[in-house]
Amino acid sequence: MTGYHVTTHRKLARYNETGGILPPVRFWRSPETAEAWRRKTGRDLILVVDVETAYPMPDHQPPMMAWWTPFLVRTWTRLMAEVDAKAGQE
């Protein structure tokens, strides 16, 4: 399953230092929902993660969009976000 994990530059540095995103790893099922959450929380980055085992987060809206995995995520790719584009212009 492909998911979109919203995070900050500070946390990304920690992920790189520790070799992974420690569980539970929460993520969104679509880039549009992840982008909305990124804007709402003021976080900087969206990472694309692939996980084998995932569960929907209970009591989360919209239903079946927020998921989590109990396993360490060791690989990801960075999805370019609006904030990244602005940082490149400075």
Taking only the tens place, the pLDDT of each residue in 45-64 is 999 999 999 999 988 776 77
d(CA 58, CA 64): 9
Per-residue pLDDT at 88 exceeds 60: no
How many CB atoms are closer than 10 A to CB 8? 14
Amino acid letter, residue 90: E
How many CB atoms are closer than 10 A to CB 20? 16
Per-residue pLDDT at 81 exceeds 60: no
- Beta strands (DSSP E) in the chain are 2-7, 25-28, 45-50, 55-56, 66-69, 76-79
Per-residue pLDDT at 87 exceeds 80: no
d(CA 69, CA 54): 5
DSSP type of residue 52: S
Mean pLDDT of the chain, nearest integer: 88
